[in-house]
Chain A
Amino acid sequence: MAMAQMTQTAKISVDLKVLGPILALVALIIVGALLNGNFLSAGNISNVLSRSAFIGIIAVGMTFVITSGGLDLSVGSMAAFIAGLMILVMNGLLPSMGAGWPLVMVGMVTAIVAGTAAGFINGFLITNMRIEAFIVTLGTMGIYRSLVTWLADGGTLSLDFGMRSVIRPIYFDGILGVSWPILVFALVAICGEVVMRRAAFGRHAAAVGSNDQVARYSSVNVNRVRMMTYVMLGVLVGIATIMYVPRLGSASPSTGVLWELEAIAAVIIGGTMLKGGFGRVWGTVIGVLILSLIDNILNLTDGVSPYLNGAIQGVIIILAVILQRDKKAEG
């Protein structure tokens, strides 16, 4: 290969890769603003950002898993299971502890501990038992989904009414008009970006995803890096669940359905490579916003049959990814 040519195309593709998702996001914002005057209202922006928070927090963790060459299909079910568990624990302790912040704290700790454990189980099976990530997480996906169905007896697990008013502010309140989910999402995203770009862990994750043999020969503890990505994702699923439960105060077998695919889609739209080796947290954030905005814009406009929502979403996802490809993608 001639070096001069390689570096040239590399430069162009880098620019496109950086700009692609941003261009798609800007285009969506312009379209939204043209279609509906309320699109740029503070209320609507706050709504979109808040609802992006669940998928967004999870997708930040997913970015690390995918960057290190892994995959986690279980996060949607895991979120539903953790939500169910959190509600059951809080309902169960309500008579003894009473409705108040101590009980909320217990619920939060439950979610984080359960998330850590779930991530650890995935990571353990993948790294120590050497089972394909796809199979492990497909398995745990089914396990968590049916566990929450079982816990809910097929119906819905609802937080006791007494607790709801106590816990509600976690989703609906905030500081200076910015709601907690947005703040937490922003914090997670910023930390994720710093860790990915500037911490040894992020560099190691990319090295493992790029070529795990090279990482191993370079004294990187490959198994531990992989394990940590899954544990970190589990913790973030726990945090997302802490934001989710206060919104409706319930969990059911339909909670978190397809979140895993949305999170993976957001990660890929953002420019992280599905085969691993390169990850970009800020891109993931943009990917999440693109997905949320598509839904929001479709809800705010008339004239498109709701039957076609999925098709429009699919087209925009594919376009966003095409935008970041090299023009000359030859075999």
Chain B
Amino acid sequence: MSGTGASNLSLSLSAICRSFGPVQVLHDIDITLAPGEVHALIGENGAGKSTTMKIMSGYLAPTTGEVRLNGTPVSFANSQDAEARGVVLIHQEFNLADQLTVEQNIFLGHEKRRGLFLDKAAMRAETEALLARLNCSVDPLARVRDIANADKQMVEIAKALSRNAQVLIMDEPTAVLTEREAETLFEQVDRLKAQGVAILFTSHKLDEVKRISDQITVLRDGHVVSQGVASDYNEDQMAEAMVGRDVSSLYPVREGEIGSDLALEVAGLTVPGFATDISFTLRRGEILGFSGLIGSGRTETMEGLVGLRSASGAVRINGKDVSLKSPRQAQAAGLCYLTEDRKGRGLLLDKGMRENLTLQSLPDFTRLVIDQGAEDAALTQAIEDFDIRAPTREVAVGNLSGGNQQKLLIAKVMLADPEVVIIDEPTRGIDIGTKQQIYEFIHALSAQGKSIIVISSEMQEVIGLADRVLVMRSGRIEGEVSGAEMTEDKIVRLAMGLSAQKEGAA
């Protein structure tokens, strides 16, 4: 595809500044991506990582400063221009056409032709070769909307590879991947690196950064605050550079008391096609972790529990039998589910914070008509309680940063005043400073006597937060760990079905 062929490229930013209107978001950024090197760009949400990547890949032009390819100043007309020169950005929000197949997506916009017609055979062969290279088993004919997030990530990378990318910029490639999938990705990254591809990636997972990067650049408030060889940093140093303060104690100390009465009892819950015979209990004030690989049925189990999917089984809340056929019934019974997909299922991105905050508990604000004064008061309270930072109260929530969206989503669900709340991936794609805050909120809620289920793909998160962890595999509970047994090794073994002893499973 690209005219530059297989020759390796280096891309550098030199004294780049960028302003949006009166607001300057980047100040004198210097970064060099060398062939055969993995460069990690880290920083909190809003530090300027996205803008930097967009300037590198032709989505935005710098206000001042130069972008150089192999030392020659270039000015990309647009992202297609950058791609044609071998610079490809893989978005965190997948840039895939949901209704098209994997194969059609990989070749979207540069389909292979034979004469007037599409050369489907050649495209099929290349798709299969690319997916095999990525160790990805997705069906080339599957529609993208039907495949898992991890597979979508692989399709994005396959798409970039099919364009012969020499500079690959990845925006949080592992945000939606399990550790095993991430490992597959890293193997691929190592291979690309060996081929001389220059790679820049961002991640909030500092252990990953440590694992694969050669160079590190830390951004804070649009400035490069630290830059150097990766081996010179440890994780604490990275975090401190990003946040500007000490964040070594990421997980708060358990303060609340776990009650003795059972808030939630689930017996024999089956969600057809996703989960079978799930049984567990949750005590008042307890934080229960749910772990397992992506696709192990954690999310579907919880969606079945709150009536978002059809499911069978017995559920008791506070000792009373309940039948939960819809989220409304679950909410009325004191059980709420907070989705992992905050943009697609959690928030109305084109609406303001007030509408979003009260959507789930609108009847509480309505007598004959909605009491907007009460809504405003609730928003003021939520902004204070959850430290939501927005430029104005009227801003469409799609324009908030991921961390603030997540805080608003938590505020929204907590406004419905549930006894039991299920939080699915509480900190996906969120910077470390905000993560710390969200962990504090979760602990504060449990101290108030709320019972909480946390689903997370991040092993550390589950271990750091939960009192007990249930591990799911292939739609079943594989085992339970608690206390000193809560180690990554133990959980991974259960998640992958390697554990000889299966204790505590329902």
Establish whether A and B are touching in the complex (CB under 8 Å).
Answer: yes
Question: 1/0 per residue A190-205: CB within 8 Å of B?
Answer: 0000100011100110
Query: Which residues on the A side are within 8 Å of B391 (C-beta)?
Result: 3-4, 7
Residue of A nearest to B307 (CB): A219
Contact (A214, B347) CB under 8 Å given A4-B23, A5-B20, A198-B370: yes
Contact (A3, B339) CB under 8 Å given A199-B369, A217-B308, A219-B331: no
Residue of A nearest to B50 (CB): A1
Check B326 for interface membership: any CB of A closer than 8 A: yes
Contact (A213, B344) CB under 8 Å given A6-B399, A198-B370: yes
Closest 7 CB pairs of A and B: A2-B20, A198-B369, A218-B360, A4-B23, A219-B327, A5-B20, A219-B328
Residue of B nearest to A220 (CB): B359
B372 contacts A218, C-beta separation under 8 Å: no
Check A207 for interface membership: any CB of B closer than 8 A: yes
Check A210 for interface membership: any CB of B closer than 8 A: yes
Question: 1/0 per residue B345-356: CB within 8 Å of A?
Answer: 111111100010
Query: Which residues on the A side are within 8 Å of B337 (C-beta)?
Result: 217
Query: Which residues on the A side are within 8 Å of B20 (C-beta)?
Result: 2-5
User: Shortest CB–CB separation between residue A211 and chain B, in angstroms?
Assistant: 6
Interface residues on A, range: 20 to 34
A217 contacts B345, C-beta separation under 8 Å: yes
Instruction: Mark out the residues of chain A between 207 and 257 whose CB falls within 8 Å of any chain B CB in the assembled complex.
Output: 207, 210-211, 213-221
Kindly state the separation between the CA atoms of A1 and B401 in the bound complex, as whole angstroms.
10
Check A319 for interface membership: any CB of B closer than 8 A: no
A217 contacts B346, C-beta separation under 8 Å: yes
B399 contacts A219, C-beta separation under 8 Å: no
Check B250 for interface membership: any CB of A closer than 8 A: no
Kindly state the separation between the CA atoms of A215 and B347 in the bound complex, as whole angstroms.
9
**One of B308, B348, B349 near A216 (C-beta < 8 A):** B308
Q: DSSP class of B's interface residues: helix, strand, loop or mixed?
A: mixed
Kindly state the separation between the CA atoms of A218 and B361 in the bound complex, as whole angstroms.
8
Query: Which residues on the A side are within 8 Å of B331 (C-beta)?
Result: 219
Query: Which residues on the A side are within 8 Å of B359 (C-beta)?
Result: 203, 207, 214-215, 218, 220
Kindly state the separation between the CA atoms of A199 and B365 in the bound complex, as whole angstroms.
10
Check B362 for interface membership: any CB of A closer than 8 A: yes
Check A20 for interface membership: any CB of B closer than 8 A: no
Contact (A210, B344) CB under 8 Å given A218-B360, A219-B327, A221-B326: no
Question: 1/0 per residue B306-348: CB within 8 Å of A?
Answer: 0010000000000000000011101100001101000011111
Total of A-B residue pairs, C-beta within 8 Å? 94
Check A277 for interface membership: any CB of B closer than 8 A: yes
Q: Can you report 11 residue pairs joining A to B where beta carbons are below 8 Å apart?
A: A2-B21, A3-B399, A4-B22, A6-B399, A7-B391, A200-B363, A211-B345, A218-B412, A219-B328, A219-B331, A219-B336
Check B442 for interface membership: any CB of A closer than 8 A: no
User: Shortest CB–CB separation between residue A56 and chain B, in angstroms?
Assistant: 23
Instruction: Mark out the residues of chain B between 1 and 43 whose CB falls within 8 Å of any chain A CB in the assembled complex.
Output: 20-23, 25
Check B381 for interface membership: any CB of A closer than 8 A: no
Instruction: Mark out the residues of chain A between 15 and 54 whose CB falls within 8 Å of any chain B CB in the assembled complex.
Output: none
Contact (A2, B351) CB under 8 Å given A200-B366, A213-B345: no
Query: Which residues on the A side are within 8 Å of B494 (C-beta)?
Result: none
Kindly state the separation between the CA atoms of A278 and B339 in the bound complex, as whole angstroms.
24
Query: Which residues on the A side are within 8 Å of B346 (C-beta)?
Result: 214, 217
Kindly state the separation between the CA atoms of A291 and B226 in the bound complex, as whole angstroms.
63
Query: Which residues on the B side are within 8 Å of A198 (C-beta)?
Result: 369-370, 372
Question: 1/0 per residue B365-403: CB within 8 Å of A?
Answer: 110111010000000000000000001100110010000
Kindly state the separation between the CA atoms of A216 and B412 in the bound complex, as whole angstroms.
14
Check A8 for interface membership: any CB of B closer than 8 A: yes
